[in-house]
Every structure is written in structure tokens, then in C-alpha cells.
Chains A and B, each alone.
Chain A
């Protein structure tokens, strides 16, 4: 058969979102790839320029729909730096807790989608089942399951409800057992190892050159994690290890993510201990009324509140479940941020697609792209 181009997407089971992977194949062999993005471009950066800081948080939840809390944290860190606001200690710990829960939610979701891509049917449902527990926890203290709108400039909207800590501890215990079950189902299967070993290899030097971050980079043995290298929130006070592997292939990415899940549970337990011992305000005191309000009173009673902001600019970086995410927030003293620039880790991970896809087979594309963990929402923004 002669060479041909096929469009994997924008509506295709492999994409897990809306994007188009154009592939030139010869038989089953991949010769060239060209990702086409933009099907989910909603102009979040532009809309942010027209909204109050607390309203932008609504958009951040939608940036990556499986890791909304991480993006909220990211933006709020940048915004607080730009607005010269310092959140109280308890809010930092709650944010750390939320981000780790979000990491579990995102990674478990990744697991479900990834095993589905290589044809494992039952673990898909196991992953979704366990993610639901995390979403239930989110619901109990933020009121929402996916789009939380929980962070505020200067803290978090509300403190944890009573009984939450015990519940969260139970979920942690249950999840640790389930992670073992995941490993048994995948690593214990010869077919899984045959499919995934030596697939989508991208060595450390190539990863760094291509700007790849997150579990994909750590699977190549590079120990770079924003949580350790440039601690934010309460990450300088918790103990955890950075998960690394040396395979640089799909199996190594699987191992890194599974280890991260376990480390997340470890961090969450420390957060829960701290939060139990240290009650306090979850929102900064003596903020201007508009800044810490549970909702932004823009347009209330037909008034637009005129605010006097100090000018500033903030750069925040967090280790999102998918990798290193950056937010650059410019505050020119107006009602709204002057410019919000978001950098998604998947954006760069995807831009290097040709380095880890070319030379493999069509049947290898779903597992490799699955191991990249694409979330198109944050690529297109």
C-alpha cells in the first residue's frame, strides 16, 4: 500500500479532547505527524483581560477540566503576587491539599483513559470509580465536582467542613489499596509489558531540548519538579520524593505517575495532620472588602465598584499534574488584569510529538499519546 495521510481527530477516540493528529503512514508505520490544535480555543487569556481577578478563577477551572484546582492555584499565586497580597498559612495548606487531591483525580483519570487506549476494559471503570471518591471530597468542601471556583485572592473561599479530615483519611487508605490493584492489572500483564516497553522513547537530553516537563521528563530520569525546586504554597514544609524512572518509555511514564499517586497520598496525609492541629482563618484579614469577598460585587445593584489597585506583576509556576505550568499576570492598576499569559505543560509536550511518534506503528499511537496525557483544554486555552 502506498503512503497516505490519515486524520486522527478532531473527533477520534484517541484524542481525548478536540484536536487533530495528522499522520502520514506507510502501511502501519508512522512516517510523519503534524498535530493541529485550536479546536478548543476559547480565548481564556483574552476574556481574562475583561474580568475581575476573582472572576478569572471561573475561567481557570475550565482551562484544564480534569485539573481545575491546579490551574486555580496557579493563577491565584500569580495574581496574589501581582496584587501584593499574602494569604494566611492555613489557606496555603488547604491549597496544597487541594492540588494533591487534584493530582490524584487527574492521574487516576489518566490511568482510566490510558488503559482504555490499550484495550483494557475493566480498569477503566475502576479508575472512574476511584476518581469519584476524590470528586466527592471536592464536592464536600468546594460544592462542585469539577469546576470549583474555590480559591480567592487572599485565601480560599471557605474552610474545610467538619468531619472532612476523617473522611479524607479514609479515602487515602482506600486509594492506596486501589493503586496496588492498578499495578497488578497492568504491570502483572505480559501483554501490557509487551505493548508498552520501549514504546515512545524520548531520552533525557531530547526531552530537555524539546522543553518537555512533568511525568514525561521524569520518566527519562531528569529529577525536575517545581514543587521541590521552587516550592510554593506549603510544599517546602511537607516531605515527599520526586518520582523518577529511567526507561523513558511508556512503561516508565506509567511507573512515574503511579509513584506520584502514592507520594500525593503521602503529602495529603501530612496536610491533613497540619490542618487538624492548626485552626485559623482561611482568608487573609484586613483585605479590602472587594478583594476577599466570596463573590466579586461587580455590577451589584447597578454599581461598578471603583478600585485602586497597586500596580504589580506576578510570575507563578506550579507542578500541575501534567507538568510545569506557568502564569504571568500583569496588573496595571485597573479593574482587571492587563494581561494573563498561561503556559501549559502539554502544549510543549505535544509540540514535540514527532520526536516520540515517528517510527512507531499506528497501533502504538494511542498508548504513546495516552502516556503523554493530553488535556486539550489547557493546550488551546
Chain B
């Protein structure tokens, strides 16, 4: 299993770097999966199509947004019934007006995931069919999962620190 996974990983890396000479930024190992693909948001849609149609990752399991303060990461987790494993697709977006092409045209299940990411992490998904608030009230102005959104004031945490 481990060897075949590594083989598949190398194969995937070769194919993708040939297909996307500029946008494909690499495939990092990630424990328990086929790895994490880093890609440029400019090629998002073609990459999604390629991943789904050519490499048979037909199930989009999760879309996650992560705020790295100076950048935002959007992370797609896809599953393949053929290869029986997860693959992560990660794109780094600028913190100023982060936006990426929607995946709903490729994986319809991305719909709610992207709505949630949009309202919680403030990442805009271009051409999304229905980008409304999902979990938060309509018109809510904050994005709670940004690091700048504090749950309480810092002075409440003032306690003595002991090293262990």
C-alpha cells in the first residue's frame, strides 16, 4: 500500500507538472494521504477538472480556509473511489481581497463549503452560484475565523507563566 501510494504520488506529480508547467507548484508528502498539491489560484478551474476527470478524484470531501495572517490558504480535500485515498489541494491567496475560482462547476458539493469559507474566512469564490451567508446572520460584517477576530480581551489571560 505504502509503496503503491508513493508510486501513484510520483506519477501524479509528473503528469501534473507536465500539464501545468507554471501553475503547479509541487506535491508535498502529507501523512495518511497521497500528498498535498500546491497550486497557483490562476489554474484552479483547470486543475480541478484535471483532478476529477483524469485522476478520478470524484468526491470533494472538504473545503477549508486557513488564515495565515499575511496570506490565506484555501484547502480542498478530495477522495477517489478508484485509488481509495485522500488528496489535498492547497492554494495560497493574498490577504488583500483573496479570491479564487469556484469549484462548484466541477464538484457541486463545494457549494455550501464555499459559502461557509466565504463568510468565516473571507475568501471570495468567483462565479459561485449562490454566495450568501450560511451559518451567520445575513449581513453579518465580521469573519470570525480570521486571526484578527478575538474572542476576548488579552488582559483576561494575564497569569503567571511557569515552564515545564
Contact = CB atoms under 8 A, between A and B. Distances in A.
Direct contact of A and B (CB under 8 A): yes
Interface of A: 37-38, 41, 43, 45-47, 50, 81, 208-213, 222, 224, 229-230, 288-290, 299, 302-307, 313-317, 324, 326, 328, 330, 338-339, 341, 343, 347-348, 350-352, 380-381
Contacts of B111: 351
Contact of A209 (B77, B109, B144, B159): B109
Nearest to A82: B31
A222 B136 CA distance: 34
25 contacts: A41-B135, A50-B151, A81-B31, A208-B58, A208-B81, A209-B107, A211-B60, A211-B61, A229-B84, A229-B85, A230-B84, A288-B164, A304-B160, A304-B161, A305-B162, A307-B164, A316-B32, A317-B61, A326-B61, A328-B75, A339-B67, A341-B62, A341-B75, A343-B64, A347-B112
B109 A315 contact: no
Contacts of B18: none
Nearest to B133: A38
Interface in B9-33: 30-33
B145 interface: yes
A53 to B, nearest CB: 15
Given A288-B164, A306-B162, A348-B112, A37 B135 contact: yes
B97 interface: no
Interface in B31-62: 31-33, 58-62
A315 B160 contact: no
Contact of B66 (A41, A230, A330): A330
B107 A211 contact: yes
> Which are the 9 A-B pairs with shortest beta-carbon distances?
A211-B109, A351-B112, A343-B62, A341-B64, A38-B135, A41-B135, A303-B162, A304-B159, A306-B163
B139 interface: no
A164 to B, nearest CB: 31
Contact of A326 (B77, B108, B161): B77
A208 B56 CA distance: 12
Contact of B30 (A289, A315, A343): A315
Given A299-B159, A339-B66, A352-B109, A46 B164 contact: no
Nearest to B116: A347
Contacts of A288: 164
B164 A315 contact: no
A315 B33 contact: yes
Contact of B86 (A41, A211, A317, A352): A317
A224 B136 CA distance: 32
B164 A210 contact: no
Contacts of A348: 109, 112-113
A290 B164 contact: yes
Contacts of A314: 31
Interface in B60-89: 60-62, 64, 66-67, 75, 77, 79, 81, 84-86, 88
A376 to B, nearest CB: 11
**Which of A213, A307, A338, A343 lies at the interface centre, i.e. has the most chain B CB atoms within 10 A of its CB?**
A343
Interface in B130-162: 133-137, 144-145, 149, 151, 157, 159-162
Which of B32, B88, B160 lies at the interface centre, i.e. has the most chain A CB atoms within 10 A of its CB? B32
Contacts of A341: 62, 64, 66, 75
A335 to B, nearest CB: 10
A230 B32 contact: yes
A328 B62 CA distance: 10
Between B109, B111, B151, B162, the greatest number of chain A beta carbons within 10 A of the residue's beta carbon is seen for B109
A381 B145 CA distance: 13
Contacts of A350: 112
Contacts of B59: 208, 211, 213
A315 B32 contact: yes
A7 to B, nearest CB: 15
Nearest to B158: A304
Output the residue of A211, A224, A347, A350 with the most chain B CB within 10 A.
A211
Contacts of A50: 151
Contacts of B67: 339
A314 B60 CA distance: 18
A338 B79 CA distance: 25
